[in-house]
Amino acid sequence: MYMSSVPEYIKIVEEVFDKFKGREFLYIGKDVRRWDAVEKIKGKSLYTADFLKFYKNAVFVHSVRTKYAHALIKSIDVSEASKYPGVLKVITAKDIPGINDVGYVIPDQPLIADRKVRYIGDIVALIVAEDQMIAREAESLIHVEYEPLEVITDPLQVVDLMTLKEKPHTLIHDERGSDVLVHYKVRRGDMEKALREADVKVEGVYKTPFQEHAYLEPEAAIAIPEAEGGVTVISSTQCPFDVRKAVAKVLGVPLNRVRIVVPAVGGGFGGKEDVANEVAAKAALAAVLTGRPAVSIHTREESIIGHSKRHPMIAWYRHAAKKDGTLLAVEANIVMDTGSYASLGPFVPWRATVHATGPYKVGAARIDTKAVYTNNVYAGAFRGFGNPQVIFAVERQMDLLAEELGMDPVELRLKNILRVGDETVHGQKLTEEHGVGLEEALLKAVEASNWSSKRMEYRKAVGPLRKGIGVAIFYHGNSIGVEGADYSSVTLIINRDGSISFRTGLTEFGQGSTWGLVLIAAEILGVPPSYFKVENPDTSATPDAGPTVASRATVMGGAATVIAAHKLRKRLNEVASHILGCDPEDIVIKAPEVYCGSDPNRRTVWQDVVEQSFWLGIPLQEFGYYRAPRAVWDEETGQGAPYITYTFGAIVAEVTVDMETGLTKVDRIYTAYDIGRVINKVGAELNAEGGAIQALGYGLMEELIHDKDGRVMNPNLSTYYVPTIKDAPEIIPIWVEAHYRKGPLGAKGFGEPSFNAVATAIANAVSHAIGLPVYELPLTPERIYMMLKKAGKI
């Protein structure tokens, strides 16, 4: 029974979910080839920089970056550089026609620094030249006078971990009066009582590093000047509508003068959100100021020093439990380093806070999270968005607790995990409708991995090579929760020849979620996926679908697709009913065949239905819009219902550690995920593998290192190590489908969850192998070796 306030679109999603319950699917959950497979495999897909071959008179935009990570700009003289042969223009802050800001959430980040610089990637001028080399040569003719300030690279110089009070220091954002960006809290239950009643307590301080996205395609944008001061920008971004907003703001023109087109994108992982705004704005400025097509492409080194990273975390945790393993309380002080600018810094720590106790029933909780500015490279969105950091702390704590209680880590978890009917730490009651498959996931991962016997057997090993097995579980709120207006949209157009145009502002950057949306539309309409053409996101053609972030494309875009497809299907059924004479509900579409279910001899073809619709004046275009049920959050207590639903997962990892060198090899990873209905099976498997390998890097080798002056020590791919094919372990994917009724056909999100707990499962396995607790990622050979040495194990 629906209340009148429930919008029609939510009713449709639920109606379609119920209608398809127990039905056999043709495309959903099946092995279906991607639409762009052949184009990409032939090297014909064009990525942003590839368009340069069509613009022979393009000018290059080179970013002149600061010499100091923290300094006041006393003066800047570009006159000499401006006269260098081949230089067309040197742009400084004063040349910006609109507003000099590309801050993603809050306006704290100038496109071109004017008053001060706050990190080593800050731009002080843009050189627009005939080619890149001329621009780089002219760079040495730009004279900037700096007054260097104290450089802060350690977030604990800004706040104290135990009191979370701001310390006296040279302010980075003096205009704000404080370098604490945000403070989030969770308050639940009676902490004093819980601590009094506890039989055991464990505590620890946990640290995680800056992680670089290292998408293979560096940032790029090509801008073409248009009429009325406008511009078209080809941009490598996850969020074209955000880029449009940023470019319009910098140029000082209305949104409708700026068009953003997104071609093939070579990876994003959260990194191509805010920096894409900066890069597009640079190209757009140059195009508008010179009247020529302008290209801004980051080198790999620029990409690494100049775009957001995963937030490092330092967290103090204390867990309290009863002798039988019942979790009584969790306390945590969490400090996240947001670097020089806020970027998505206001949101990432919020997600970390929401997930700070893990997927457990917790009687009492006190969580305080502060994100602070430093002079490091700024931190922003990266697959997992704050959750992998707290998972590391929580799941290490759970292992410590198990050890303290003499319990098996799996047993301890099973005792405390969230199931249907339980309340999350925020007081959100989980129902059947949410889909809660955590227990099933954990049991399946444990069974598949032969956990119990390996856990016993591996500990007995002697000699330099030791094996270990570890587990980590998690939950992950779907979509953006209370971070913003949570909506999405698609447009489906059935063309006169029966082919279908699929339009959405959600972008495809490798993750494959748009393909999932096509499968949904194909299933509901009854046409094969090959009928569809997915159009590139284009702010002048595709609808604003919100950002492609937060594992929301399938859930939110999928729901919008369900709505559009459902409405179209209804109309098609009516037209077919008109042609065939049977009831609209009786119409079966298996394009190209269309017939009456009760009498398959009464039949026609898809093209005919489409043609008849045209003559009958029935529109075959539909716009699907979906807005998520509103999230609830009390700022003071952290109570409410922060997310619409949760994805769950359990990871078991097996490792071999060389005790003489500290080198760890991951042998096997079992990934069991409850992602609700598996829409795009291939895409889900690819994410499970890819997320695991990326997280393996996070667990064992990846860390961006700043020196004390805020310079990045490893700004390239031979010093910043990401896993190669030699590191890829055996990965065993396991799927659990606890359907989410308000999601498209029961689906939940998966982009980020595939990363979340893998590094921690590896860390727990390493800890098992070496017989010592670990507190810091990545677990480099040196870190492990030094722990062993300190413990007298070598």
Partner 1 sequence: MALINILKISTVYSRVSLTFRFNVYIPKDLNDALRALKVEGEGLLPIAGGTDLLVLYRQGLVKFNKLLDLWPLRNSLSYVRFEGGYVKIGALTTVSELLDSRIYMDKRFLGFKDACSGFASPFIRSIATVGGNVGAAHPLSDIAILLLAYDANVKLASLDGERLVPLREFFIDKRKTLRKPDELIVELSFKEPPTNSSTSLIKLDRRVGHSMGYVIVSTYLELIDDIVKDVRIVFDSMGKPYPERAYKTEEYLRGKTLSEDVVKEASESILPNEMRRITDYRSSAEYRVELSKVLLKRALFKTKERILGGA
Partner 2 sequence: MLEVRRSDVEYPDVEIVMKINGELKKVKVKPYERLIDVLRNKLGLTSVKEGCGRGECGACVVIMDNRPVPSCLVLAVRANGKSILTLEGLAPEGKIHAIQKALIDVHALQCGFCFPGVIMMSKHLLDNNPDPSEEEIREALDGNLCRCGSYLRFVKAVKLASKYLREGKTYFDESEVLR
743 touches which of partner 2, partner 1, none (CB within 5 to 8 A by kind)? none
Per-residue binder mask for partner 2 (CB under 8 A), 56-85, x = binder: ------------------------x--xxx
Comparison of 35 and 785: residue with beta carbon closer to partner 1: 785
Rounded distance between C-alpha atoms, residue 179 and residue 165, angstroms: 11
User: For helices 513-525 and 558-580, what crossing angle results, to 10°?
Assistant: 20
Partners of 648 in beta bridges: 475, 674
CA distance 289 to 225: 9
Report whether 13 contacts 744 (CB < 8 A): yes
User: Closest approach of Cβ 666 to partner 2, in Å?
Assistant: 12
Q: Is 786 in the site for partner 1 (CB under 8 A)?
A: yes
Torsion of CA 637, 638, 640, 645, to 10 degrees: -170
Which x/- pattern, by CB under 8 A, does the window 678-717 give for partner 1? ----------------------xx---x-x-----xx---
CA 185 centroid distance within chain:
23
Determine, following the binding rule CB under 8 A, whether residue 682 of this chain makes contact with partner 2. Answer: yes
CA distances 306 to 66, 353, 710, 765, Å, are 11, 27, 13, 34
Interactions with partner 1, residue window 70-109 (CB under 8 A): 84
Assign residue 74 a region: left if phi > 0, alpha if psi is -120 to 50, beta otherwise? alpha
- Type of residue numbered 332: A
Q: What angle do helix axes 240-251 and 274-290 make, rounded to 10 degrees?
A: 40
Q: How far is the CB of 694 from partner 2 (least distance, A)?
A: 6
Query: Smallest gap, in angstroms, from Cβ of residue 780 to partner 1?
Result: 5
The tally of CA atoms less than 13 A away on the side-chain side of residue 530 is 6
Tokens of 163: 């009191």
Q: Does 133 bind partner 1 (CB under 8 A)?
A: yes
Residue 39 binding partner 1, by CB under 8 A? no
| Element holding 487 (H helix, E strand) | strand 487-494
347 binds partner 2 (CB under 8 A): no
Site for partner 1 in 307-346 (CB under 8 A): none
User: How many Cβ atoms from other residues are within 10 Å of residue 681's Cβ?
Assistant: 18
Span interacting with partner 2, options 251-259, 352-360, 556-564, 685-693, rule CB under 8 A: 685-693
Does residue 140 bind partner 1 (CB under 8 A)? yes
How far, in Å, CA of 274 to CA of 363, rounded? 38
Nearer to partner 2, 693 or 787 (CB): 693
Q: Are 626 and 543 in contact (CB under 8 A)?
A: no
Using the minimum distance from each CB to partner 2, give the nearer residue, 269 or 451: 269
Out of 130, 197, 689, 709, name the contact with partner 2 by CB under 8 A.
689
Please choose which of partner 1, partner 2, none residue 265 contacts, taking the beta carbon within 5 to 8 angstroms, the exact cut-off set by kind: partner 2
The burial of 585, by beta-carbon neighbours within 10 Å (0-12 exposed, 13-18 middle, 19 or more buried), is given as exposed
Residue with Cβ nearer partner 2 (598 or 719): 719
Alpha-carbon distances of 3 from 28, 410, 566, 626, 710, rounded to whole Å = 31, 42, 21, 18, 56
Note whether 411 binds partner 1 by CB under 8 A: no
Q: Note the residue count of the chain.
A: 794
255 secondary structure, DSSP code? G
CB of 268 to partner 2, least distance (A): 8
What does 707 interact with, of partner 2, partner 1, none (CB < 5 to 8 A by kind)?
Answer: partner 1
CA neighbours closer than 13 Å in the CB half-sphere of residue 359? 30
- Structure-block tokens of residue 602: 């009464």
Binding mask 698-727 for partner 2 (x = CB under 8 A): ------------------xxx---xxxxx-
Return the residue of 660, 730, 790, 791 that touches partner 1, per CB under 8 A.
Answer: 660
Upstream peptide bond of 778 is cis (omega within 30 degrees of 0): yes
- Is residue 582 close enough to count as binding partner 2 by CB under 8 A? no
Closest Cα to residue 99, out of 282, 249, 247?
249
Closest distance of CB 668 from partner 1, Å: 16
Q: Name the one range near partner 1 by CB under 8 A: 221-229, 549-557, 655-663, 754-762.
A: 655-663
- When the beta carbons of 453 and 716 are compared against partner 1, the nearer one is 716
Give CA 35 to chain center in angstroms: 23
Residue 165 near which of partner 1, partner 2, none (CB within 5-8 Å, type-dependent): none
| From 108, 137, 217, 273, residue interacting with partner 1 (rule: CB under 8 A) | 137
Provide the binding-site residues for partner 1, judged by CB under 8 A.
84, 132-134, 136-141, 299, 301, 660-661, 663, 665, 700-701, 705, 707, 713-714, 718-719, 721, 723-727, 778, 780-782, 785-786, 789
Which residues sit at the interface with partner 2, rule CB under 8 A?
A: 31, 33-34, 36-38, 40-47, 49-50, 52-53, 80, 83-85, 133, 213-218, 264-269, 299-300, 509-512, 530, 682, 685-686, 689-694, 716-718, 722-726, 728, 730-731
